[in-house]
């Protein structure tokens, strides 16, 4: 099945910040699979000495940014699962900074984080492979905003693209 573009009204207003990255994409599953490979190649190309780098005091390290991408994808998975099962119960938001502090990043290697992204994305792909149009377009509630599984899947893609650009533009300046 081809899972087409998100329906903006089925997603929070802030989603447009991430949907702008997927305008050319046609199929969610193909996008997720292709992006998995691109993102993993990108992560593996980051020099080992950069993973703990912060471009400014108070900002996350590269480990923190990638951990945030993973945490957010897991939350979007959960919200997408619930919406796809016709659950209209509101799903609360999360404090991304508190999650970063609790992620034990000093104890984790880049390889562990890279492997966790791969496993998370594989799980996302498997989740969406089991959905039909009705599952995709039921509108649940995430943090008091409309949220459908279709929008959740495309948010996963756009959010990862956004943060890949952030890493390139703010953390890897001057790195070959």
Q: Is residue 39 included in any domain, yes or no?
A: yes
Query: Domain of 114: which CATH number?
Result: 1.20.120.450
Residue 176's pLDDT is what? 59
19 in any annotated domain = no
Q: Tell me what the pLDDT averaged over the chain comes to.
A: 94
Predicted model pTM: 0.94
pLDDT band at 101 (very low <50, low <70, confident <90, very high): very high
3-state DSSP assignment of residue 68? helix
Q: Are 79 and 10 in contact (CB under 8 A)?
A: no
What are the tokens at 88?
């209209």
Would you say residue 52 lies in a domain? Answer: no
What is the domain count for the chain? 1
What is the reported pLDDT for 135? 95
CB-CB contact of 83 with 149 (8 Å): yes
pLDDT in tens, 62-80: 999 999 999 999 999 999 9
Residues in the chain: 176
Residue 165 included in any domain: yes
Residue 124 clears pLDDT 70, i.e. is over it: yes
**Cβ-based neighbour number of residue 40 at 10 Å:** 15
Q: Is residue 148 part of a domain?
A: yes
User: 15: closest CA among 136, 168, 160, 159?
Assistant: 159
Residue 1 has pLDDT above 80, yes or no: no
Residue 99 has pLDDT above 70, yes or no: yes
Q: Give the end-to-end CA distance of the chain in Å, rounded to a whole number.
A: 39
Angle between helix 62-84 and helix 149-166 axes, rounded to 10 deg:
170
Q: Is 17 part of a structural domain of the chain?
A: no
What confidence tens digit (pLDDT) does each residue in 13-67 have? Answer: 999 999 999 877 679 999 999 999 999 999 999 999 999 999 999 999 999 999 9
90-91 and 140-142 as β-strands: parallel, antiparallel, unpaired? parallel
Q: Mean pLDDT throughout 161-175?
A: 90
Residue 68 lies in a domain: yes
The range of the structural domain enclosing residue 150 comes to 31-44+61-171
pLDDT at 165: 96
The pLDDT value recorded for residue 29 is 95
Residue 22's pLDDT is what? 86
Which of 19-23, 51-55, 112-116, 165-169 shows the lowest mean pLDDT across its residues? Answer: 19-23
Distance between CA atoms of 14 and 26, rounded to whole angstroms? Answer: 21
* pLDDT confidence of residue 159: 96
**Is the pLDDT assigned to residue 175 strictly greater than 70?**
no
**73 occurs within a structural domain:** yes
């Amino acid at each position: 099945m081809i899972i087409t573009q998100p329906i903006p009204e089925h997603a929070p207003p802030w989603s447009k910040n991430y949907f702008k990255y997927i305008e050319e994409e046609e199929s969610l599953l193909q996008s997720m699979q292709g992006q998995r490979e691109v993102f993993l190649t990108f992560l593996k190309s980051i020099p080992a000495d950069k993973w703990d780098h912060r471009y400014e005091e108070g900002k996350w390290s590269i480990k923190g940014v990638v951990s945030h991408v993973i945490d957010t994808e897991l939350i979007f998975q959960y919200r997408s699962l619930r919406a796809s099962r016709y659950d209209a119960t509101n799903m609360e938001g999360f404090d991304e900074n508190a999650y970063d502090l609790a992620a034990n990043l000093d104890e984790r290697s880049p390889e562990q984080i890279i492997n966790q992204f791969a496993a998370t994305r594989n799980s996302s792909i498997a989740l969406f492979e089991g959905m039909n149009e009705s599952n995709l377009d039921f509108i649940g509630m995430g943090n008091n905003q409309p949220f459908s599984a279709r929008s959740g899947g495309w948010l996963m893609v756009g959010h990862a693209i956004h943060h890949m650009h952030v890493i390139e533009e703010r953390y890897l300046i001057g790195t070959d």
